[in-house]
Structure 1
Amino acid sequence: MVTIRDVARASGVHVSTVSRTFSAPHLVNEKTRQAVLAVAAQLGYRPNRAARALTTGRTHNLGLIVADIANPFFPPLIKAAQGHARERDYHVFVADTDEDPVLEQELIETLSKQVDGVLLCSPRLSNQTIHRLRAEVPLVIVNRRVKGLTTVLMDVGQGARAAIDHLVGLGHRRIALLTGPPGSWTSGEIRQAATDRAAEAGVPLTVVGPNEPTEQGGLAAADKIAGHSAVLCYNDLVALGLIEGLVERGLSVPGDVSVIGIDDSLPGRLNRPKLTTITMPTAAAGRMAVDLLLAAVGAGEHAPHTTVRLETSLVIRESTQRASEP
């Protein structure tokens, strides 16, 4: 069996350097790290993760908990986080809460015994519960601001303002907003930003919700936006469901109603009409969250908290056009 000493001897470095290459790669010079990894691959060396965990107290596993793995918003984030963690010699366990805060808490408590830290994406738990769980395991929150904890935010408010500006610029004066589920931080951010920007433009905004964050949620809301010429939706799934509901009622998009989603997911790009939407930097958020979580794991209970805000942008496609009303 090839040992760590064999790799060190063949690489011309100390055993501790080989150990750090696999346990704390960010502490090793990039050129040295790549040379050690090349030698290890050539010799067929594989670190014993169980033995390393006993020595270092680290599992080199991370948890990643999302609200709904079937939502196309999450897979790019999951993929980016897993790849980024793998480059740092970490594995990621992914779990889905199905929008259920009780299950979310159970998953965090279970994973806390098996991982070094947890990425919590769009959580539905109360801030008080999240702070209590933070005492059990390092946490980084994605897409929700929690005071006193490290968070990665995608600036959905910026996107909502851009969406309202776009619709007003097209001459729409009867605009509706389909919000998301109750307790959603993102939904609250969208509502506040869209309401403020519409007020600045002197255009009334009708808020319709809460709604399920799914196609069914949009479909069910189709009757509630009668009389409006444009709708901003909580996410792409709601927007696609709304478009289906409008078509079933004999209305065309964007001929009768302009529709904007949020996420820039693949279904929206494949839909006809192609969906105008707000692109969210999900992959960048996944990578940033991993880096912040590993920093927190390394710093222990004294880890400082920070908030990173990533920009969003409007992508104009086929589901919006100039308003027909004067």
Structure 2
Amino acid sequence: MPERAPTLRDVAERSGVAVSTASRALTRPGRVNQATADRVLAAARDLGYSVSPAGRALSSGRTGTVALVVPDITNPFFFGIVRGTQARLREGGYVHVLVDTEESVEAEERTLRTLRRSVDGMILAASRLDDESLAAWSREVPIVTINRSFPGLDCPSVTIDTPGGAVQGLEHLASLGHTRVAYAGGPRTSWSDGRRRSALAEASPRLGVEVVGLGPYAPQREAGAAAADAAVASGATGILAFNDLLAFGILERLASRGVDVPGDVSVVGCDDVFGADLVRPSLTTVAAPLEKAGHHAAELLLAALDPVHPRAGAPVELGTHLVVRDSSGPAPR
């Protein structure tokens, strides 16, 4: 018969302390004096005993797990965020679970209710919750948001300056002589979309460009056909798309209608996801530092979860830049 695995009681007996003291020495050494902690640790090493993850979570109240919640895992925008988050959490000794809410506010609420006691904290990327609900949840569980911030939100945030990027795209089109540009917007629940619409409305008089607001559209390739048709009907010679997936669909629809890009209509996307340089024509787009955003979000959450000195990090805002490719050109004469 194989030998019985050592137990916590065995460690307690070997070191001459109560089981509760042995447990504290192994999971919270600061709660017992140093001599006792050293004696218990030596007994554990001699016996080959190690604390199970479940036991450590039970005694410390920590699970070593973080939830990363995204609205659409099929959207390449979130790939970089996942990589950046995962790498930093691994460095900090955490694992993460990935949750796809499928652009559903109800699913996001359900995720928060279900996981709040199963994880140490959450990173919400492009949350679709309304301000009141998100503010309430930020007081219930350690949260860091990506691309969501407002006064009264009691948690750290990382934002990507896509409104500034949209203005860069508009300036680019204006420099090419376009005076009527359609903005094919994102979901109604997108905080980022609202900020971009405001930024474009503010910049358009300065640039002498009329911006036609279209949408809302799902941030998916399949929605591009409707967006392209609406843009053509509006008489716009330039299109700014909410994201690259929507821009891919717009390019496909314009090609099927025999509309030349960029000869008749120029198209500008946002995010510079994988494939933006592979479509034909290659897509002019706003590049966003997605992996860096995930890294910063994880860094902020680890700071908030620090068992010794928890701290709230300062908000982080990351810049964007325009990548000019073949889908944009001079306005038709």
**TM-score between the two structures when normalised by the length of structure 1:** 0.83
Paired residue type of 1:288: H
Following superposition, the deviation at residue 300 of structure 1 comes to: 9.8
Following superposition, the deviation at residue 269 of structure 1 comes to: 2.0
Q: Does 1:187 align with 2:170?
A: no
Q: Does 1:198 align with 2:212?
A: no
Q: Deviations over 1:106-151 (max 9, x none)?
A: 0111111111000001111111111222232111110111323311
2:68 to 64, 71, 77: 64
Following superposition, the deviation at residue 60 of structure 1 comes to: 0.9
Secondary structure of the 1:259 match is strand
Instruction: Tell me, in whole angstroms, the C-alpha distance in 2 between the residues paired with 1:47 and 1:184.
Output: 44
Match of 1:123 in 2: 127
Instruction: Tell me, in whole angstroms, the C-alpha distance in 1 between the residues paired with 2:73 and 2:256.
Output: 28
Show structure 1 runs of 5+ residues with no match: 6-15, 21-43
Instruction: Tell me, in whole angstroms, the C-alpha distance in 1 between the residues paired with 2:217 and 2:309.
Output: 39
What is the Cα-based RMSD across aligned positions, in Å? 2.6
Match of 1:172 in 2: 178
Paired residue type of 1:160: A
Instruction: Tell me, in whole angstroms, the C-alpha distance in 2 between the residues paired with 1:177 and 1:251.
Output: 18
Secondary structure of the 1:77 match is helix
- Fraction of identical pairs, as percent: 39
Q: Deviations over 1:62-119 (max 9, x none)?
A: 0000010001100111122111111111000000000000000101111111110000
Following superposition, the deviation at residue 53 of structure 1 comes to: 1.7
Higher mean C-alpha displacement, 46-55 vs 256-265: 46-55
> Is the 1:138–1:293 Cα contact (8 Å) retained in structure 2?
yes
Instruction: Tell me, in whole angstroms, the C-alpha distance in 2 between the residues paired with 1:131 and 1:109.
Output: 14
Secondary structure of the 1:206 match is strand
Match of 1:27 in 2: none
Following superposition, the deviation at residue 199 of structure 1 comes to: 1.5
Q: Deviations over 1:151-180 (max 9, x none)?
A: 100011110111111101111112111111
Match of 1:258 in 2: 266
Distance 1:175 1:299, change over 3 A: farther
Distance 1:258 1:115, change over 3 A: same
Instruction: Tell me, in whole angstroms, the C-alpha distance in 2 between the residues paired with 1:263 and 1:313.
Output: 10
Following superposition, the deviation at residue 270 of structure 1 comes to: 1.6
Q: Deviations over 1:303-325 (max 9, x none)?
A: 54632100111011111111122
> Is the 2:27–2:56 Cα contact (8 Å) retained in structure 1?
no
1:150 to 142, 148, 156: 156
Secondary structure of the 2:276 match is helix
Match of 2:294 in 1: 286
Paired residue type of 2:167: R
Instruction: Tell me, in whole angstroms, the C-alpha distance in 1 between the residues paired with 2:308 and 2:202.
Output: 40
Paired residue type of 2:264: D
Match of 1:222 in 2: 228
2:324 to 294, 316, 319: 316
Q: Does 1:295 align with 2:303?
A: yes
Following superposition, the deviation at residue 252 of structure 1 comes to: 1.4
Distance 1:120 1:45, change over 3 A: farther
Paired residue type of 1:276: T
Q: Deviations over 1:191-216 (max 9, x none)?
A: 11122212111211111111111112
Paired residue type of 1:213: P
1:74 to 75, 78, 102: 78
Instruction: Tell me, in whole angstroms, the C-alpha distance in 1 between the residues paired with 2:307 and 2:133.
Output: 22
> Is the 1:218–1:242 Cα contact (8 Å) retained in structure 2?
yes
Secondary structure of the 2:136 match is helix
Q: Deviations over 1:16-38 (max 9, x none)?
A: 9x989xxxxxxxxxxxxxxxxxx
Q: How does 1:244-255 map to 2 (within 5 A)?
A: 244-255=252-263
Match of 2:315 in 1: 307
Secondary structure of the 2:67 match is strand
> Is the 1:109–1:133 Cα contact (8 Å) retained in structure 2?
no
1:97 to 83, 96, 101: 101
Paired residue type of 1:114: S
1:211 to 214, 217, 238: 217
Instruction: Tell me, in whole angstroms, the C-alpha distance in 2 between the residues paired with 1:172 and 1:202.
Output: 9
